Amino acid sequence: MDVKYDRIVVLGGGTAGWMAALGLATALPRAGITVVESEEVGIVGVGEATFPSIRSFHQIVGVDEADFLRASNGTFKLGIEFADWRMRGDRYFHTFGDFGPLTGPDAPWAQYRRVRQGGSDVGMLGEQCLPTVMALHGRFCAPAPERGARFDYAYHFDAVLYGRYLGGLAQQRGVRRIEGKVVDVARRADGGVAHLVLADGRTVEGDLFVDCSGFASLLLGRTLGVPFVDFSHWLPVDRAWACPVAHHGAHLPPYTRATALEAGWAWRIPLQNRTGNGHVFASRYISEAHAREQLLARLDGPPLAEPRLLRFTTGHRQQFWRHNVVGLGLATGFLEPLESTSIYLVQSGLGRLIERLHGGAPVSADSIAAYNAGLVRQF
Catalytic residue list: 77
CA separation for the pair 209, 212 (Å, rounded): 9
**Pairing assessment for the beta strands 203-205 and 193-198 based on DSSP bridges:** antiparallel
Q: Which of 233, 212, 234, 231 is nearest to 221 (CA)?
A: 212
CA separation for the pair 11, 218 (Å, rounded): 9
By the 8 A CB rule, do 93 and 80 touch? Answer: yes
CA separation for the pair 296, 293 (Å, rounded): 5
DSSP SS3 for 72: helix
Q: What are phi and psi of 168, to 5 degrees?
A: -65, -45
By the 8 A CB rule, do 52 and 77 touch? Answer: no
CA separation for the pair 309, 99 (Å, rounded): 39
CA separation for the pair 172, 13 (Å, rounded): 16
C-alpha distances in angstroms, 176 versus 31, 264, 323?
A: 11, 42, 24
CA separation for the pair 245, 302 (Å, rounded): 6
By the 8 A CB rule, do 23 and 61 touch? Answer: yes
**Pairing assessment for the beta strands 47-49 and 182-187 based on DSSP bridges:** unpaired
Other C-beta atoms within 10 Å of 289: how many?
A: 8
Q: Give the bridge partners for 130, in sequence order.
A: none
By the 8 A CB rule, do 277 and 245 touch? Answer: yes
